[in-house]
Amino acid sequence: MKNFLKDIKYGLSNVKDMLLEKRYKPFLFPLIIVVAVFFICRYINGVALEQVYSIKNKIDAQTAEINNEREYKAAKEIYEKLVKRLPPDEKKNEWLLSETQGLFSKNEIVPVRVGKQTLEESDGIFTPASVNFDIEVDYATLGKFIASVESSDKFIRISELAASRSEGNLGRIKVSFRINTVFIKGNNK
């Protein structure tokens, strides 16, 4: 380590002597060339980096655009499939009752009570609708009915369900439930 420090001190003293005696002229031109080349390389590197970042940003933007387009197409497909399952807005007064009666017939159920269809007004594009029913069935028939409602290709769902034992009939139960759907405003397919 001491030798290294001695060498640096000796080299600096030589530079000092050279500067004092003005013997630096042979080194001046190469030094100017080296400094000029350094700044030219620095400028070219900066321009190249700007171009690289510009190309990278364009690639990122195009990738995001492609991903957004894919997401949009996937969402549009889902929306179109859902719209096919939703009832037409023009038939909202009888559609839910008609579809529910079809499900009752399919499962050989005669409703004890059929409530009035209610339409909820909303500010959005959907109009929710529901109907309340009371039925008296056995457990197996109730299970088949719920499965047929939930697996229907139409958008019909059971939102509330209450069951109690039927008085005087051990194998049957009284069931009160609400069936719902939504209409898209302006969907008159």
Q: For the chain, give the mean pLDDT.
A: 83
Distance, CA of 113 to chain centre: 42
| Position 136, amino acid | E
Question: Which of 14-18, 22-26, 152-156, 178-182 is predicted most confidently?
Answer: 178-182
**Which residue has better confidence, 29 or 140?**
140
Q: Give the mean pLDDT of 58-71.
A: 90
What are the backbone angles phi and psi of residue 174, rounded to the nearest 5°? -95, 130
**Which residue has better confidence, 74 or 6?**
74
| pLDDT above 80 (res 6) | no
| pLDDT above 60 (res 74) | yes
Tell me the residue range of the domain where 124 lies.
Answer: 89-184
49 lies in the same domain as 98: no
55 lies in the same domain as 99: no
176 lies in the same domain as 109: yes
For the stretch 54-64, pLDDT in tens is: 889 999 989 89
CATH code, 133: 3.30.70.60
What pLDDT sits at residue 35?
83
Q: Give the mean pLDDT of 168-183.
A: 87
Domain count, the chain: 2
Q: Is 181 left (phi over 0), alpha (psi -120 to 50) or beta?
A: beta
pTM recorded for the entire structure: 0.54
Q: Which among 24, 48, 64 is the end of a domain?
A: 64
51 lies in the same domain as 135: no
108 lies in the same domain as 161: yes
